[in-house]
Structure 1
C-alpha cells in the first residue's frame, strides 16, 4: 500500500509522462540539433497558451503501458497569434512515435475538435504503425478507418515534417493544406530498409522520399526549412493568411508602410519583346503589400508561381506565369500546382489573382505520357467550381487553352490587359508554320507577309473591342485595378464566405 497522497501520486505520473522517452534519448536529440515534440509545441503556440489533452494516455498493451508516456503523441490546443489551434506532435522518443489504438483516439479527437472551427497542425516524425498492435486478423480487424483521412476542409490543416515520417505521419502530411519539410526529412509509405527487403534492391533514402524529392518531383513540399524553428515559423506564417475555419473570411492585416508606392516600376520590369525572359516574382512583390508574399511550392512546376500575399491587408492568392522558366509554358507539374492552389484558395475564401504571360501548354511525348490532357481539364474544372472572386491581368503573351485556364474567356470575374498584352490561339510564328509550311530562311518575304496576317487583331485593344477584357490599363495601375475588382466582386452577402464546392477535392492527385 502506498504512502503517497493523491497529489503526490498525480505529480509522479505527470512527471513520468512529461519525461517522454527518457533523459538519454532527449539528450541525443539535443546533441543532433533536433527539438523534441514538446519543444516544438512550445514554439508553435503563443507562450503560456498550450492546454494538453491525453497526457496520461499510454499503450493499451499491459507490457507497454509504462514505456509509452502520452502514447507517443503530444496533443492539445493553444493560441497562434491569439487564435485557437489544435496540435498533434509526434514524439519520436517514445517507440519512434509509432501509432497504437490509444494515440489514434487522441488524434481522432483533435481532428473532431478542429473541424468545429480551428486549424490543426501536425508536427510529423514517426516510424509508422506500432507493429505488435496491428499484426494478425485481430489487429487489422479491430480498426475503424471509415473517415479517418476524410478531408472536407472545414478548417485548415498544416504539417511540418521532421526526420523520418512514415505511416500516419505521411498520410496526414499529404492530407494537409500546407506542408513544410525540414532539410534532412524523409517521407514515404515505408522505410528504406523495408523497401529493400521487399524489392531486393538497394534504395537511396533521398530518392525514395527525401525533402528534395518532395520539393521538386512530387510537389508535396509546399515549403522547405533549414531548421525546426524555421519550419514551425513557416506554419505560423501560413496560417496567418487563412481564416480559422471556412465559415469566415481571412483576417485582414495592417497595411505595411510603402505598399503600392513602387507601382511605376511595373512599366520597366516586363521587356517588350515576347522572347525576352524576366522573373514574375518581382511583379508580384510590387503589386502586393510590402513584405507580404508567401510562396507555395516554389521549387515545383517553376513556370508557374503560386503565392499567398496581401493587397491592402486582404489575403489573396497569386497564380502567375513565370517566363524565367520554360518561357512560362505550362507543364504537367505547373498544371497540378495551379489546381491545388485554386482548391486551397476557394476552400478558405481567398480571392485569386492571375498574372498571365504564357505561350501555352508544354506539348510533346513526355507531357502526354504524364497525362497533360487530364491535368488541363482538372484545372479547368477547379476554376469553374471556384466561387471566390477571381481577377486576371494579361501582361504579355496569352495563347490557346491556357488563355482560358488563366482566367480568360470570362472564367474570371474581372479581367484587364496591359497595353503590351497579346492574345491569340497560338504564337503567330508557329501558326505560319502550321498553316502555310513556310520556312523563314528560304522564303523570308512570304514568311513575313503571312506572319503579318497571323498577327492581325491580337492586341489588347482587339480583345477589349469584343469585351474579352473589361479594360486596357497602364501597368502602373495594376494594384488599383485589383483593389477595385476585389471590392466590386466581393462576396458581400455572405461576409466573404464562398460556397466551397471544392472542399472535398483530393489533397493529393
Structure 2
C-alpha cells in the first residue's frame, strides 16, 4: 500500500496554486504590462533555484461530500532561492488574488518569511504589488466587527532592518501596509508608470474629503497621487526604473555589494582594472573659475573600478551623489559632492540622504570614500524654513558615529560646518587634497567686504583697494599654506587619486577583516 492517492491530491493542490487568481485575472495582470508573481520570482532568482514554502496554503473549496473542488491560494508567495549564487528569502505579492490584500490570505506566511530572513541570516527581497494589509471595508461586514489596527510580525520587519539586507520592489499600486513594507528597506525601487505608493489611494482620499481631487482617469489619478516621479524625488523610494526587468537587475546588483547579514563581510570581486591607472583628464577636471561646474560623475568613472559605480537615490538630495562602487575589487560606499546642483551645498534633503547612506555603510561594514566639493549648508530663508541646520547636523553626527574606515579627497571647496562633516576630525584623517583645494570657515568672497569695510571706506579708490586685498588673500588661501602647517595632510596630483584610494581600500579591508 502506498501514499500515491495523497501525493495525487498534493499535485492537484499545487496545480491550483499555479493558477493563482485564475486565467481571467492573470490575463488582466498581463494586459496592464505587469508580470505575475510566479514569473517575477523566476526572473529575479538564479535559474531554477526558487524553492517555494507554503505553496498549497489558501482557502479550500469543497462540495457537499467534502471533496476538494478548488483552492484560492494565499496572495503571498515566498521561499528560499539563490541570487548571484548566494541564498536569499524571495517574496512576491500576488495581485491577481484580491489585489494582494493580506485579508484574503494567511498572514502567517508573510510573518514566516520575515522570520526566516533574520533567524537564518538571509537577505530578503520583497516584490510588492497591492495593499498587503487588512483588506477592504467589505471585510468588516464579513468579520462582524471592527478592530484596533495591528500588523502581525512587524517586529520581525524591524529586526530584519537591523540584521540583513532588505530590498523592496514596488511593482504596482501599493497602499497602506504595502507602502510601509516598501519603505521599510535598505534599498527600494519603483517602476515608472507601473508603480504607485500612497498611504491611501485616490478613492479613499477623495472619500475622506481631502483637498486632492484627481483626474477622472483612474490610472492617471494614481500617478498624480503617488507615482515614481513623486516618491523618487522626495526620498521615500531610492530609485525608479523603466521596466520590471530593470528592477530585478538593480536588486541583484545592489545585493552583490552587500554581505548576507550584519557581522559578515561583503565579498571582493575579481578586478581587471589596473590599480595604478592614472587618468590625465583628472588634471583639468576642476575649472580654475571658482563658479564653474564640472562633472563629479565623470570623476567617479575615472577613479573607481571601471563599470562598478552603482548610484543610489539619483533624483533626490541631489547635492550629494551616493553610490556603491569597487576599488581593486573591494566594495566601498561613496559620497560625492555634485557642484552642478546648488553648487554642491547641502540642503535638508541632501543631509537626510547623507545620514541614511552613512548609516547603511556603517551597518554593513563598507569603507567610505568621500569626494568633497562642499561650499557649506544651503543658506537663505527657504533653507531656514526647511530646518537645514538640524538635518545637516544629523548627517554630521552620522559621520562621527560611523566606525568604518573613511577616506576623503578634497577636490575643491570645504567650507563651514558642512565642510567639516567630510569626516570625523577626532580620528586619523585619511585625507588627500587636490591643488584646486579651497577651504575655510566661510568663503572669502562672502565675507571680504564686511571684514575690510573700514579699509574700503577710507580708501581713495575702494575698487582698487578691494582688488589689492583679494590679491593678498589669494596667496594666504593657497592650499600649500595649509600644507605647511599640516592642516592638510597631503596635496596630490589628481592623477594619483585612484592608486591612493586602492591603497586605502586594501588597508581598510585589512582592518575590517581583523575585526570580524
What is the DSSP-based 3-state SS (H/G/I as helix, E as strand, rest coil) of the residue aligned with 2:164? Answer: coil
* 8 Å CA contact 1:403, 1:409 repeated in 2: no
Show the counterpart of 1:283.
299
Give 1:264 shift.
2.4
Question: With structure 2 as the length reference, what TM-score do the two structures score?
Answer: 0.88
What is the DSSP-based 3-state SS (H/G/I as helix, E as strand, rest coil) of the residue aligned with 2:396? Answer: helix
Show the counterpart of 1:22.
22
* 8 Å CA contact 2:239, 2:314 repeated in 1: yes
The counterpart of 2:108, out of the listed 86, 105, 109, is: 105
Deviations 1:43-76 (Å, cap 9, x if unpaired)?
Answer: 11111111111212225999xx998744100111
1:396-435 matched pairs, under 5 angstroms: 396-407=412-423, 409-410=425-426, 413-435=429-451
* Partner Cα separation in structure 2 for residue 16 and residue 187 of structure 1: 31
Aligned length: 492
Confirm or deny that 1:236 pairs with 2:245.
Answer: no
* Partner Cα separation in structure 2 for residue 434 and residue 208 of structure 1: 48
Show the counterpart of 2:76.
73
Show the counterpart of 2:189.
180
Q: CA RMSD in A?
A: 2.8
* Partner Cα separation in structure 2 for residue 35 and residue 463 of structure 1: 59
* 8 Å CA contact 2:399, 2:424 repeated in 1: no
Show the counterpart of 2:230.
213
* 8 Å CA contact 1:99, 1:128 repeated in 2: yes
What is the DSSP-based 3-state SS (H/G/I as helix, E as strand, rest coil) of the residue aligned with 1:479? Answer: helix
Is there any run of 5+ residues in structure 1 with no aligned partner, and where?
Answer: 498-509
* Partner Cα separation in structure 2 for residue 82 and residue 145 of structure 1: 28
Bigger shift: residues 12-21 or 203-212:
203-212
Confirm or deny that 1:171 pairs with 2:176.
Answer: no
The counterpart of 1:475, out of the listed 491, 494, 503, is: 494
Bigger shift: residues 101-110 or 394-403:
101-110
* Partner Cα separation in structure 1 for residue 99 and residue 71 of structure 2: 10
Runs of 4+ in 1 over 6 A off after TM superposition: 65-68
The counterpart of 1:150, out of the listed 158, 163, 173, is: 158
Deviations 1:375-401 (Å, cap 9, x if unpaired)?
Answer: 011101111111111000001111111
* 8 Å CA contact 1:428, 1:455 repeated in 2: no
Give 1:431 shift.
1.2
* Partner Cα separation in structure 1 for residue 152 and residue 61 of structure 2: 19
Give 1:112 shift.
1.6
Considering only CA atoms, is the larger Rg found in Structure 1 or Structure 2? Answer: 2
* 8 Å CA contact 2:314, 2:321 repeated in 1: yes
Of structures 1 and 2, the one scoring higher in RCO (CA 8 A, sep 6+) is 1
Give 1:461 shift.
2.5
What is the DSSP-based 3-state SS (H/G/I as helix, E as strand, rest coil) of the residue aligned with 1:96? Answer: helix
Q: CA, structure 1 residues 260+66, in 2 after alignment: closer, same or farther (shift >3 Å)?
A: farther
Show the counterpart of 2:65.
none
* 8 Å CA contact 1:260, 1:286 repeated in 2: no
1:28-427 matched pairs, under 5 angstroms: 28-58=28-58, 69-100=72-103, 103-115=106-118, 116-129=120-133, 130-131=135-136, 139-140=147-148, 144=152, 147-151=155-159, 152-184=161-193, 185-201=195-211, 202-203=213-214, 204-216=221-233, 218-257=234-273, 261-407=277-423, 409-410=425-426, 413-427=429-443
* 8 Å CA contact 1:351, 1:390 repeated in 2: yes
Show the counterpart of 2:217.
none
Deviations 1:174-204 (Å, cap 9, x if unpaired)?
Answer: 1100011101110011111101111244135
* Partner Cα separation in structure 2 for residue 146 and residue 48 of structure 1: 30
Q: CA, structure 1 residues 148+67, in 2 after alignment: closer, same or farther (shift >3 Å)?
A: farther
Is there any run of 5+ residues in structure 2 with no aligned partner, and where?
Answer: 63-67, 215-220
What is the DSSP-based 3-state SS (H/G/I as helix, E as strand, rest coil) of the residue aligned with 1:269? Answer: coil
Q: CA, structure 1 residues 60+165, in 2 after alignment: closer, same or farther (shift >3 Å)?
A: farther
Deviations 1:467-501 (Å, cap 9, x if unpaired)?
Answer: 3332111101111221222333446365465xxxx
